[in-house]
Structure 1
Amino acid sequence: MKNPYYTLTVALLSIVIVISFGFWFWKSPLNADCIDVSPTSAPGPAPEMDAVVSSEVDPPYVRYHNEFDRLECCLDIAHAGGAYLGQPYTNSLEALERNYGLGRRVFEVDFAPTCAGQIVLAHDWKNRGRVRPTLNEFRTELSDHGLTGMTLQELVAWLAARPGSKLVTDTKYPDVQLALLSHLEAASSKQFVRDQVVIQVYSEAEIDAPYLRDQAKILTIYKMGRITPEMIGTIAMSSDIIALTIPETFAKKHLAALRKDLTTLPIYVHGSPSRINSLEYQSFLNNLGASGFYHE
């Protein structure tokens, strides 16, 4: 017959082992799926930041406004009409309606020509092998994605019915750029265009074009090739542009120097959606002297 004390000791040791193993298993990574590690809110995509945005940057704080004549940050420019359901570059009626409803009032819109010369809202025709569509093809291709394509005339009517709205033009097509102002005036009036339209220009020569003499203009440098901050400063200070727009890659290197020379000129920044839409990045560029952003 076994010693009763031996039996009791074995039983107690068994209980200790079971309890210890249970505690270890509860804390073990093997059981991590049982631990609630859910974030309090769904995380957004991490911005593609690099070393230039360091811990020295102030916490992200960006206050938007809709006024071109304000130097301080940040003019809110809805790029390509603004995003719609997370999708950039649509230039669609749905994007315009959505972003106007959010309180945005300044809309940068891309213009492209159809094969018959009609001017429509589109970034370019790269997805069609650079072949210009008919107006019907343009509308159909957008409607297949649940979007409404617009002509320049339809955009003008939309703007006229939206108090406070402003248009910033953009186009990759020189033939459209040359005809844009006259088409806008024909669809509305010279007064409407002067009050609600800002034409983006792409060269020093275009700033001084006679047909743009009385028109509000922004110089955007993305088509100007190799250009230095000194060259930009000289052009800007001797012209009647109301603002300057630069790519974010250029801004990281040269915005601070530009701001020292151009103390009273608004400087706006554009870039890829994955970067320019980040509040942290906008805060960083604001600290360098940006006055606003083209963003989704």
Structure 2
Amino acid sequence: MNRILKLMITCVFALGAWLPSMTGAAFAASAPTEEWTKYPLIAHALGGIDGVDYTNSLEAFKTNYDKGQRVFEVDLSLTQDGQLAARHDWEGYLATKFEQNIPADQLNEPLTLKEFKGYKILKDYTPLSFMNVVRILEKYPDVYFITDTKETDPALVQKQFTLIKDTVNKVDPALLDRLIPEIYSPEMMTQVKNLVPFKHVIFSIYMSSMEPNEVAKYVKENQIHVVAMPFERATRSYMKKLSDAGAVVYVHSLNNVDDVNKYLAMGVHGVYTDFLSYKDLGIDTTAWTQPVTVASAAPANPAASNTEAAATPASSTAVSGNAVAAEPKPSAWEMLKSILSDIFSI
């Protein structure tokens, strides 16, 4: 009982101190080499818009960026003509969900990139090619994109990541530092690392049958700092193993504040979400949403294609600035997780 009272008193005083000035910088990651993990939220499929998920649309990006999101997961699928489109898959249910009048003989099959971009989503939202995604990355210097490419076949992986590398190189090779691939197996990790010099990766195990001990051993031996998994697979002991191996964990996908707190108490670092914002979680985003003056975006390679520029946001001399606030020690995010973990372990 005394322990519970002490913890309750600690929580009251700690929260009282944090809430008036809580900022995104306070939610720094425990893995110092992964600066992007100071953001505990990842906008799933570019985030929901008007109550609709999985659009991967320009408007979804803009809406959630304005709400303070800075890390966005985007689904990428190969088109019929061998390009990359921001589409979860080519199954017919998405055409129905998005009210797209795709001919019956083309349902459940990849479209060409031109066809894909010709179908508005719910009559209002703009579909994106991967080039559009790269242009957004160029114009918003404080944004990170996580790619969910879904394929594990080596030939398809080779094709997808060659397209990713070549497209980024046409615009600015430095953008690779803010492009974070989800990798689904040790074999894919080796293949992708040999192909593209990504600064950050996520070991995403939603397609893997690896056991907790295997995952922990693998990430430790390969110095992987971020693991993603379905929330159903997260347990307190699993989180402890991965923390001891030097990795933080993001679970997907959660859209309820109570659920986020539950997994936070379990040792999870952050979540993919369709609809939750930092405001919903009581997190002040002032540290990374203050506008700063930046140079207008221009292609690093003058020969880069501009044919899809109209689908990306217009350049501006005042966009939200890069989130490089100093990381306090200890991090409030880590301390809050520790306190909640102690409480729920009693």
TM-score past 0.5 threshold: yes
Whole-angstrom distance in 2 between the partners of 1:68 and 1:182: 34
Whole-angstrom distance in 2 between the partners of 1:284 and 1:191: 40
When the two structures are superposed, what TM-score results if normalisation uses the length of structure 2?
A: 0.60
Match for residue 180 of structure 2? 198
Whole-angstrom distance in 1 between the partners of 2:240 and 2:260: 16
Structure 1 position 145 matched with structure 2 position 126:
no
Whole-angstrom distance in 2 between the partners of 1:68 and 1:204: 29
Match for residue 85 of structure 2? 120
Match for residue 208 of structure 1? 190
Match for residue 161 of structure 2? 181
Match for residue 70 of structure 1? 29
User: SS in structure 2 opposite 1:192?
Assistant: helix
Match for residue 108 of structure 2? 130
TM-superposed deviation, 1:176:
5.1
Structure 1 position 262 matched with structure 2 position 243:
yes
Note if contact 1:207-1:241 (Cα within 8 Å) is conserved in structure 2.
no
TM-superposed deviation, 1:142:
2.8
CA deviations 1:159-200 (Å, max 9, x no partner) are 110120101000223455323433233233374243211111
CA deviations 1:39-78 (Å, max 9, x no partner) are xxxxxxxxxxxxxxxxxxx9xx998848997138861101
Amino acid at match of 1:124: D
Whole-angstrom distance in 1 between the partners of 2:25 and 2:146: 12
Match for residue 71 of structure 2? 106
After superposition, residues 1-296 of structure 1 pair within 5 angstroms as 65=24, 70-71=29-30, 75-127=40-92, 129-143=107-121, 145-174=123-152, 177-189=157-169, 191-209=173-191, 210-212=194-196, 214-224=198-208, 226-251=209-234, 254-263=235-244, 264-271=246-253, 276-296=254-274
| 1:212/1:123 CA distance change after superposition, 3 Å | same
Percent identity (aligned): 26
CA deviations 1:177-233 (Å, max 9, x no partner) are 323433233233374243211111000112222224654211000111x33211111
Q: Which runs of 5+ in 1 are unaligned?
A: 1-57
Amino acid at match of 2:203: L
Q: How many residues align?
A: 231
Note if contact 1:202-1:221 (Cα within 8 Å) is conserved in structure 2.
yes
Whole-angstrom distance in 2 between the partners of 1:73 and 1:194: 19
Note if contact 1:64-1:75 (Cα within 8 Å) is conserved in structure 2.
no
User: SS in structure 2 opposite 1:293?
Assistant: strand
Worse-matched range after superposition: 95-104 or 128-137: 128-137
| 1:114/1:191 CA distance change after superposition, 3 Å | closer
Note if contact 2:74-2:147 (Cα within 8 Å) is conserved in structure 1.
yes
Which structure has the larger Rg over C-alpha atoms? 1
How large is the Cα RMSD of the aligned pairs? 2.9
TM-superposed deviation, 1:259:
1.9
Amino acid at match of 2:206: Y
Amino acid at match of 1:87: V
When the two structures are superposed, what TM-score results if normalisation uses the length of structure 1?
A: 0.70
Whole-angstrom distance in 1 between the partners of 2:224 and 2:241: 18
| 1:133/1:191 CA distance change after superposition, 3 Å | closer
